[in-house]
Structure 1
């Protein structure tokens, strides 16, 4: 009996220790929203004569001021994230990371304190290898020290890349770093690139069940480029991979299709509608990457459209299901508010990636709607309620080329 009880206790404590290693930070209950430097500024270290593409202290402070002054913060955009190339090329004599002394003269703790003073949150970047993707000091041999350093600086979000390491180390390094982040007791959203490198560099199938245990969000496709074609590739990847991604996508664990390319001048109005509509239907993180002064009035209107944001920030966090037909893709997503316990609201996004218009007859009742009292149909982009429909109604629509129609159906 004594041996049996000892064996049970041993198993219990082994299980307990295993659970401690899991990501239990309670963060990212809705997909993070904010700004990230990489997509537009990239490794913006050549500042003399190129101030408009310089990654430095002034830039980050200006983004915080814009979020605070122009309504982005109230709409839910809260994270300001500095990507690669922020550090000196060498650690200090104690092995600690050091911010570039010329571009960030007051250091990262100063940035964090300023951002926090605005009620916003601060994010940073590292890589799981010995160097970052752009050959700055990485965290491989300093996982515990770097986790503690980021905590001391007041970091709220950590993006962790996966360049230059083996498949074997990807599968242990992200887990180890997550453990050290937990041990700091500092709440930090943990953004991993783990599945991207497994699939596209090492040519294996990502283990999403494992990844979702240790990361708040994860990149699983190529970096977005500032082009319409790159955006099409992301949308198509998420459509074709829905079956393997959706089961592990929920509050606290998100698939991340990378940044919005608003403010870069490469998208038309309708193409901008497509990117943001698909992202909110996916319950994806919404991270802008641009010079905030170059966002057009129309792009700003989209980014601050609270009906759109409500779909993306829905607490249920369901990834919309795609249906391909009639030359376009219909994305369908149930979300709050509910009528009672049984009748959710549904949003529909009809996405046309081709140049030609598509005419179709849509019967929304075929896609999960279940309220026999019918639904009130709202155009999400205009905010106008169009009409009431029943489960049996058919709606005749024209979806213009390179555009999206998006409707929310509220149960009556």
Structure 2
């Protein structure tokens, strides 16, 4: 690998799966690249990633992957070249098993061939899923295989390991060479799913970090229950499974903009990759405002990538809590979250973050969503937080 800084901070980009599932094609990917270049690139987003179902169902006579001739009639490389022409990076998808979750050829026992193919096409990012894996081979070995292939393919390719948090992934994933790893099952476009995934990460903050980031799954910000797939929209339960793989589609229902704001804030302060899942060609002003909040993104992209620690609210520890993340310049990022259904009165005691009254220091506090200075505080900071809402602060230590 030539880029020694690949994966230094969490990647930011867009993935086709949440909104478009298998209904992808050359035109869509180019339009997504156009939208990212004009609307999102300045905020730091750079990856355009094609998810599952991009290939034919069979390899060619040489054992190589073949792009779907109807979806990508000119092949993949012209699409990658177009993405690169916009100053962006291009990503693709494969699987550690014999087949992808959608039933297309997986990379099992084809790791080096596929890595070379991806390099020839100009791929910069590979999402590597976990469907149809052989039972007798541990996931740790399967991910090491592809990591080795990618590191010897002649191109810098960010490696996104997606085994849904199985097989004690925290214990071995950094050593495997992956730049990010999924620690959860699939996200769904509803508040309960966001809440469940976020709470599952409390206590796991120490496992992510520079060059190997804890991926809580893609963002559903701005989906509002939308999907390009009529089968999903018409399914009564809202959750579907492809074949026998266990891969689920995003459950519909949607969230309020307040809930999406909380979702984005949680992923940012927890150092998760910020991979957008909505249709970025048709973002509402509110969606774009959330996704391009540079104050919140700066927290996610802080160079040290230190995980946050959790401070529970004594009067409601299950639903109201703060996440505090030390930043590289000495500031604190503070997220105050209310998962309850009523307005929450929240208080952060500075003692809990290592700042005592005897030190003669306080905190100068800036609100990252209101974009305004709130003043200097000593001993504690108190506020009210709306149901399913959050307050995100950047706090600087000052003499008082």
TM interval, shorter chain, is 0.7 to 0.9
For each residue in 1:120-144, what CA deviation from the matched residue of structure 2 results, as whole angstroms up to 9, or x when unmatched? Answer: 0000000011110111011102111
Deviation at 1:384, TM superposition (A): 0.3
Determine if the alignment matches structure 1 residue 63 to structure 2 residue 32: yes
- Residue in 1 aligned with 2:386? 400
Counterpart contact for 2:31–2:281, Cα < 8 Å: no
- Residue in 2 aligned with 1:141? 109
Counterpart contact for 2:36–2:280, Cα < 8 Å: no
Query: Which stretch has the larger CA shift, 253-262 or 361-370?
Result: 361-370
Determine if the alignment matches structure 1 residue 232 to structure 2 residue 195: yes
Of 159, 179, 188, the residue aligned with 1:190 is 159
TM-score normalised according to structure 2 size: 0.86
Deviation at 1:279, TM superposition (A): 0.7
Deviation at 1:380, TM superposition (A): 0.6
- Residue in 2 aligned with 1:301? 289
Q: Structure 1, unaligned stretches of length 5 or more?
A: 1-19, 45-54, 199-205, 339-343
Counterpart contact for 2:140–2:172, Cα < 8 Å: no
| Secondary structure of residue in 1 paired with 2:73 | coil
For each residue in 1:225-272, what CA deviation from the matched residue of structure 2 results, as whole angstroms up to 9, or x when unmatched? Answer: 121111111111112xx2xx3333111110000111122111212101
Relative to structure 1, the CA distance from residue 60 to residue 224 in structure 2 (aligned partners, 3 Å threshold; closer, same or farther) is same
Deviation at 1:364, TM superposition (A): 2.8
Deviation at 1:294, TM superposition (A): 3.4
- Residue in 1 aligned with 2:174? 212
Of 369, 380, 385, the residue aligned with 2:373 is 385
Deviation at 1:208, TM superposition (A): 2.2
What is the distance in 2 between the residues matched to 1:268 and 1:252?
A: 33
Deviation at 1:196, TM superposition (A): 2.3
Relative to structure 1, the CA distance from residue 24 to residue 78 in structure 2 (aligned partners, 3 Å threshold; closer, same or farther) is closer
> Going by fraction, where is helix more abundant, 1 or 2?
1
What is the distance in 1 between the residues matched to 2:136 and 2:325?
A: 35
Determine if the alignment matches structure 1 residue 287 to structure 2 residue 246: no
For each residue in 1:303-328, what CA deviation from the matched residue of structure 2 results, as whole angstroms up to 9, or x when unmatched? Answer: 11111110010001012112222320
TM-score normalised according to structure 1 size: 0.84
Q: Structure 2, unaligned stretches of length 5 or more?
A: 225-253
Relative to structure 1, the CA distance from residue 207 to residue 285 in structure 2 (aligned partners, 3 Å threshold; closer, same or farther) is closer
Relative to structure 1, the CA distance from residue 106 to residue 357 in structure 2 (aligned partners, 3 Å threshold; closer, same or farther) is same
Deviation at 1:43, TM superposition (A): 2.0
Higher-Rg member (1/2): 1
Relative to structure 1, the CA distance from residue 249 to residue 369 in structure 2 (aligned partners, 3 Å threshold; closer, same or farther) is farther
Deviation at 1:169, TM superposition (A): 3.6
Determine if the alignment matches structure 1 residue 39 to structure 2 residue 8: no
Root-mean-square deviation (Å): 1.8
